[in-house]
Amino acid sequence: MSHREPAVPGPADLLRLRLAGDPSRPLVTYYDDRVRPDQPTPTDLPGAERVELSARTFDNWVAKTANFLVDGLAAEPGGRVVLALPPHWQTAVWLMACWSAGLVAEPVDPATVLERAAAGSEPLGASGPYLLAAAEEVLDVVLADPGVDAEAEEIVGLSLHPLGGPLADCPVGVTDYAAEVRSYGDRFAAGPEVSPDLPALTVTKTTLTGAELVAEARAAAAKWELDADARLLTDLPFTTLDGVMAGLVAPLASGASVIIQRNFDKAALDRRVTLEHVTAVAGVPGWKDASGSVRRLA
């Protein structure tokens, strides 16, 4: 039986449509060019960490994370989740898990968190109760300042380890995402109260519903001329609408696949574009395609 799109789809519906089409094709590929002494697997580019997720594998992570949010942390539709995470495949997973569970995702830049905390100002810019998911390098700063996490009902730490490993040292009061999420089910069923009309994303002081997010994604995909053959390379942060569009939702809306990269090595870009069959680029300052075959989107 084919999956029919609802009259007013939300982001989770886009993922279900992708699963109904070609679930084994790559959806998200992730690179981190930071040189790690504990690099666990070889890659085509020395020093680079590479992770590839098909739509089916991505959905598995989304379902486990959504179940963790709902069953493990008692998150309810309409609740807020602040994501102090860099461009990363797990950030994309958390965004979709929030939308699947009817939660409002509010991505914030970890570097900005650290800078504003050092200056003695409130770094998150979030008021009222929220759940905080933070990268490992942000946790010490967040926990050291009582004012930063005063409104956080739960704090979840992400190691962002290439193999999904746990935090090196999980602080008291923090839930280790990697240690907890694997025990949750790989199928998620949203309750009837979860609807595309619920708020889904807050970026740059603007909040969009799930339906509005899908409309923006389809408009971006049309503007950027994305289709099922497109391979989009991006290093845009998820803290802007363009970043969310390029990093996840526009590729889902168009059938394209996305390559998210972090700490990129400019010397590796030309080879990566060739190896990954990149057709479009968003972000990546200073890089130009000598052949003229790769379009710059944003």
Reported as a single tens digit per residue, the pLDDT across 72-120 is 999 999 999 999 999 999 999 999 999 999 999 999 988 877 776 666 6
User: Mean pLDDT, to the nearest integer, of 2-30?
Assistant: 88
Question: Is the pTM here over 0.85, yes or no?
Answer: yes
Least confident span in 69-73, 120-124, 254-258, 282-286: 120-124
- Exposed, middle or buried, 86 (CB in 10 Å: 0-12/13-18/19+)? buried
The structure tokens 């509010």 sit at 106
Given a contact cutoff of 8 angstroms between Cβ atoms, the answer to whether 132 and 154 are in contact is yes
Distances (CA, A) of 253 to 107, 151, 175, 228, 297: 20, 34, 33, 10, 16
Reported as a single tens digit per residue, the pLDDT across 277-291 is 999 999 988 778 877
11-296: CATH topology: Rossmann fold (3.40.50)
Reported as a single tens digit per residue, the pLDDT across 140-180 is 877 776 666 667 889 999 999 877 789 988 988 899 999 99
Report phi then psi at 156, rounded to 5: -115, 130
